[in-house]
Amino acid sequence: MLSDDVFDHKPDPDNPGWHHWNLKDETLFNGAVMGKLITRREGEKCRLRMFPERKHENLQGIIHGAVTLGLIDISMFTTMHVVGTGNAGPSVTLELSTQFIGGGDPKRPLDAVTEIMRETGKLVFVRGEVVQDDDRVAAYSGIIRKFVPREQG
């Protein structure tokens, strides 16, 4: 399970119905690169939202593909926590297949909407889309490997 000591997933007062999805140590990848992330459950899907900044743009003035990939990767773990068994850590990405469909507009929030296709004791199979309103930016599928926490002793 995700520890409240290292993770903030409280309700977001600025966005009713949404929760924070941020590490308390903002020097780690999520905070340092992605910025503020919020999430909410939508039926059997999970929506993870980021708020693009200038640093997220590429030379064409659209959201950099690496930022989109980062959002997708984080969304898979968010979905495990919000929609799945709740056991989003410790885990690792085994596979991520992504198809870029369009350019992301840095002036609009970027959402990864993910669903769990199947969850076993050790694996979680997901698929989803990155969207901005009705515009599709990417489609993806992935596999997460869950690890059983080791006994201390």
Question: Does CATH number 3.40.50.300 belong to domain 7-146?
Answer: no
pLDDT at 84: 85
Burial class of 107 by CB neighbour count within 10 A (0 to 12, 13 to 18, 19+): exposed
Q: What is the pLDDT of residue 99?
A: 98
For the chain, the structural domain boundaries read 7-146
Q: What is the pLDDT of residue 150?
A: 61
Q: How many C-beta neighbours within 10 Å does residue 144 have?
A: 24
pTM, to two decimals? 0.91
Query: Mean pLDDT of residues grouped by 10 in the chain (153 residues)?
Result: 70 94 86 92 98 96 97 95 78 96 97 96 95 97 84 55
